[in-house]
Homo-oligomer: A and B are copies of this chain.
Amino acid sequence: MNSWYVNGEAVEHLAVDDRGLQYGDGLFETIAIRNGEARLWSKHMERLNKGCELLGIVMPTESDLHAGVMQAVTASGVLPAYAVTKIILTAGTSLRGYGRQRDQLPFVLFGAFAATPPPAVSYQNGIEVALCETRLASNSAFAGIKTLNRLEQVLARSEIMATDAYEGLTMDADDNIICGTMSNVFFVQNKTISTAPVDRSGVSGVMRRHAIDVLRKQELDTRLQYTDLPSLGDVEEVFLSNSQFGVMPVNRCGERTWSVGPVTRKVMSLLAEAGIDECRL
């Protein structure tokens, strides 16, 4: 079963001089397919478009991208009820050298993969996270967007593979907890929900954005503010967000433990109502 497609054709290779390989010059989106539909599509497109503007890559039309995703799902034979797709958009090939024109036409790859939902017990009882030693650089020109420069996540994620943790949390040099290796993290304290700003490092996750929108619409106090490592002990509840699993409670980080609290339950219930079925307890 081939998982990657270009222009509707199955592919296994790409050009060695593609700038995606040579420099990580490109972007990607990992999108949940649920009940035959690309979930949170417009939020994925919003972020991809922002990335294209920053990198100077011509954004394909949304309808072409949507068709490419659906074509990959169909051709790969994955279950359209529950699968994951990935769009990779590189700056194409060019002569040797970092520099290129700003209106670069992209090379676009579509991947489709089978997936299984996390066990219900993870949503009910929460999961364990670990603190990663790998730190995120600060003041990144690419904060918020999802480029192909992902070495920080590779190292951070690799750290926790040998542990019992489901996810690793990454900090910047000032001990601010920015996000997970493949998720965003929210903290609850004094009835206030917060998650780190992602304008200096980290990724603006689509589920993070969706959760913030849903919570603010319900007039729940939801702030963009840093929680640093010393403050972690004061936090009452912790949960993660990710485009694939929705929102998941955290019950442990090292010595610190939390129960699945009322605010997290409320957030999950609101998200379940807002189309994120995994969050239905």
Which of B14, B101, B173 meets A21, CB within 8 Å?
A: B14
Contact, CB under 8 Å: A4 / B21: no
Interface string of A97-136 (1 = CB under 8 A from B): 1111110000001010100000000000000000000110
Bound complex: CA of A130 vs CA of B11, how far in Å? 42
CB-nearest residue of chain B to A147: B151
How far does the Cβ of A144 sit from chain B's closest Cβ, in whole Å?
Answer: 13
Interface size, chain A (Cβ < 8 Å): 61
Contact residues in B for A264 (Cβ distance below 8 Å): none
Contact, CB under 8 Å: A96 / B113: yes
Which one, A65-73, A154-162, A268-276, is touching chain B?
A154-162
CB contact under 8 A between A158 and B14, given known A24-B148, A148-B24: no
Bound complex: CA of A161 vs CA of B25, how far in Å? 17
Contact, CB under 8 Å: A158 / B100: yes
CB contact under 8 A between A99 and B13, given known A21-B148, A134-B141, A137-B139: no
CB-nearest residue of chain B to A18: B21
Q: Which of A15, A141, A151 has the most CB of B within 10 A?
A: A151
How far does the Cβ of A104 sit from chain B's closest Cβ, in whole Å?
Answer: 9
Q: Any chain B CB within 8 A of the CB of A56?
A: yes
Contact residues in B for A139 (Cβ distance below 8 Å): 135, 137-138, 172-173
Q: Any chain B CB within 8 A of the CB of A46?
A: no
How far does the Cβ of A198 sit from chain B's closest Cβ, in whole Å?
Answer: 13
Contact residues in B for A158 (Cβ distance below 8 Å): 56, 98-102
Contact residues in B for A41 (Cβ distance below 8 Å): none
Q: Which of A90, A155, A201 has the most CB of B within 10 A?
A: A155
Q: Any chain B CB within 8 A of the CB of A142?
A: yes
